[in-house]
Structure formats: structure tokens, C-alpha cells
Chain A
Amino acid sequence: MTETEQPDAAAPKTHFGREFGAGLFLLAIAAFAVWGAWPLAFGQLSGIGSGLMPKSTAVITAGFGALLIAQSLISGSAPLEPWSVRGVVLVLGAIALFAATIRPLGLAFAGPSAILVASLADPSTRAREIIPFALILTALSIALFKFALRLPIPLAPPLLGY
């Protein structure tokens, strides 16, 4: 996930830069799709099979991927920007945590934990602010989604049973 390319200030273009990464990305998506759609029938022209769309789009995507890679190798491209690992892990982790805890532990737990974990992604977060904020926001959400809108979201199964 972490890819740090130290951009050389004197030579802004590099052969394995952004376009190269973009091309690889497309190839990866295409490969993933072909793998997933492998057993589907392609069909003939007179009877399009279920596999035609997934496989053709995968092939076309791969084609663009190859095009971008070729362009990058021939004429070079802007270097890759560094990725922020902290943001990715904490924010997406918070979302995944919410997904994992919403049904077994309910909104009362999943809400504050998601907010707290996500907030760690920003260095300027202060505990004095974020903890009460998390609790208030969760309470507001419960009032809005659970009571006003009557959505079937689990509230706190371990405590209340629903």
C-alpha cells in the first residue's frame, strides 16, 4: 500500500511514474475481473452470453492499461505522489470497525468507536473535544435514525437485546 517515490526535483519526469502506476492499476482491475468472470459463457453474436460484458470490458480496460504503461515507458510521466498510510488505515479501519460491530454490538458502541478511531487520522485531534463529540453525535444519531425514522438499526444488543 505504501509507495513512496522520491521525486527528483531536477528531473520531474520518470519512466515509472504516475501513468505507469495508472496503467498497472487498470491491468490489475482487468485481471481481477477476468478471474471472477472466467466461468461465464461468452456467447455468440446471436445469443449474447452472460460473460460478454464482464469479459469485454475487462479486455478493454487491460488495453488502456497497456496503453498507459507504454506511454509512460516511452515519454515518461509525473512521479507518483506519496500515499498517506495513516489516513487510509485509520479512516477505512474505522469504517470497517463500524461494519464489524454494528450488528453484534449496536449503534451505541459502533458509533463512538468509529468516530474515535477515525479521528486519530488527524494529528490535530484533541481528546477533550472528540470524546464528548463522539458521545453527543451518537446520541443524536440514535434519536434521529432509531426513534424518529424508526430504522431497524441495532441499538445495543448486548444490553437491550435489540
Chain B
Amino acid sequence: MSITRRTLAAALALPLVAAATPAVSQGYPTKPVTIVVPFAAGGPTDVIARLIGDHMTRTLGQQFVVENVGGAGGSTGMTRVATAAPDGYTLGVGNMGTQSAAPFLYQNLKYDPAKGFEQITILNYTPQTIVSRKDIPAKDLKELLVHLKANEAKISYGHAGVGSISHVSGTLFNAQMQLKPALVAYRGTNPALQDLVAGKIDYMVDQSLNVIPQIKSGTIKAYAVAAPARLKSLPDVPTTKEAGIDFIFSAWNAMVAPKGTPADITKKLLEAVAKALDDPAIVAKYEELGSTAPIGDDRGPAGLQKLVDSEMARLAPALKAAAAAEPPKQ
């Protein structure tokens, strides 16, 4: 009955929760470490950061505390990480938006995703899923595209605001499929999803983590997963390749540290993260969330740097074209 004893202890000790655990390690870390998450608590990046941070607290013996510093699509938080002291006690978890798309979306970005951080490692990938409101008469992706093209003057695409993953992936998807929907901007994924379920907008391309519950309960339709392989949590949804188009898009989260953080510290952090990623409990959790962990060479600083560079190269033309194409509003 250890679970209930823990429950009881937690409940009774609530107001008296003391500070760090007693373990004293030689060298790093000797005091609590802050993990800056540049988004609100409870969101996809926050969930992953807390999962991994919690594991690292147990393996490294010091508290890894998540601090949510939201704002400006994540740039406020990442700027804080970029300018923090490189002593290993401030880390950051950014996502594809902050580490690859940001330079093309924001004029005065105060950090450099490619060269301004010590890359530690990719934490997870979440492929995008193409979904639509449930009343569209299409059985698969090809029929959906036909329907969208046929009704071009009336279709609408919902996204979570300029700079969000659903906005960036949507821009790329619509450009590649040559669709010109009305773009409807929402404050975050939830209101957009709400309108999709209600049938007020037609389709979205968003992180699987966000849409899996709705797909499973049948309130929206899924057509394809933009990943190389099917997701274990959505076994009936084909990949984009199986469905006939070539569109791979994964949102991802990665851990970084301020530039100049010593190599032995980053090495220790990487080892701890790798342990977390290999833990069966976390593997199972990832699966449920529709996420995959990086493996082999993708782990570590080189893998992350490669991803950042390639994503920036891929996103640049599409985002710049989209910005130029917006009709000038006078």
C-alpha cells in the first residue's frame, strides 16, 4: 500500500513541503535548477518539460523546477534563457516554433536559435495530424483535398495564432496543396478545436497531442498523420505517404542551455535526459501523448543542431512567401 501511504504523506505534508532533497552531490548540481518553459502551464511543451524534469530530479538529486515564462509566442522565455548565466542552473525547453520558425516571424528577435544556445538534445517529436470537422463528406485525404479545392471560396482553416505550430504547419500545408482558405485566428488551440468540433471552421493541421482525444471520441475526423510511421495511439490513421501526399511535419521540443555552459555540465544533463527517455514509464507516456522520442544520433547536441538548421532552411521560404503574400491592408 505504498501508494496510499504516499498519498497520505503528501496530503498531510502539504503546507510544510520543505526545500531540496538531502542528497549532496560532488559538483553539479548542488542547488535547484530552473527549467524555463516559454509557454503556459498545462500545454504540450510544459507537459513534456515537467515529465523529463521530474525524472531528472530523481536521478540527479536536485530539484528541477519548471518556471513558466510565457509571452510573445515563446520569445520572452527563450530570451530569458539566452541571457541567463551559463552556470547550468538555468535551462530552457523550446519547441519548433521558438527554435526554428521564430526568426522568420518576429522582427526583433532577441535570441539566435541556431547559434545562441548550447544545444542539449531533442526531447520529443509530435507529428501533425490533418483533421476536419466531422460533417465533411470525405473518406480519406485525397477526397478531402478534392472537397477543399472544390469549395475553395468557402473553406476556412483555424489556427492558434500567428507563430503557433498550427499556423506554421498550416501555412506550409496550404502552400504545398495550393489551397487558399480563409484563415481564422484563435487565441490558442482550445478555442480553435472548439469551433472545429462545432463545425464552424473546416480543417486544421495540429499536433497529435492536442487532437487525439477528439479523434478518439469521434467529434472530428482525422485523415493522415504527417509522420514516417503510423502513431501507436492512432493505429487507424494512415501516414501522409500512405494517403498519397508528401508532407512530413512534426512539432518538436528540445532542451537548451545558455551559450557558454560548461561541457561537463551539458554532458551530465544529456545523460540524465537519455535515462529519462529510456525509462519505460516515460516511453509509455509518450506513446499515449502521440509523441516519439529521439533515438541514436538524433539525441544530443549534434542531433539538435542538425534539426534546427534543417528546419530553419525548410521553413524560411514558405514563411517568407506567406508574409509577402498577405494582402496589404490599408
Contact = CB atoms under 8 A, between A and B. Distances in A.
B67 A152 contact: yes
A43 B329 contact: yes
A150 B31 contact: no
Interface in A117-162: 147-148, 150, 152, 161-162
A42 B17 contact: no
Interface in B11-38: 15-19, 31-32, 34
A112 B329 CA distance: 52
Nearest to A43: B329
A66 B145 CA distance: 55
B327 interface: yes
A43 B329 CA distance: 5
B307 interface: no
Q: Interface residue tally of chain A, by bracket?
A: 10 to 19
A42 B18 contact: no
Contact of B18 (A41, A43, A50, A147): A147
A49 B329 contact: yes
B267 to A, nearest CB: 23
Contacts, number: 28
Nearest to A162: B31
B19 A162 contact: no
A42 B330 contact: yes
A94 B50 CA distance: 36
A148 B65 contact: no
User: Which of the listed residues A41, A49, A150 has the most CB atoms from chain B within 10 Å of its own CB?
Assistant: A150
Given A49-B329, A162-B32, 10 more contacts: A41-B329, A41-B330, A42-B329, A43-B330, A47-B329, A50-B329, A147-B18, A148-B17, A150-B17, A150-B65
18 contacts: A41-B328, A41-B329, A41-B330, A43-B329, A43-B330, A44-B330, A47-B327, A47-B329, A49-B329, A50-B329, A147-B19, A148-B15, A148-B17, A150-B17, A152-B34, A152-B67, A161-B31, A162-B31
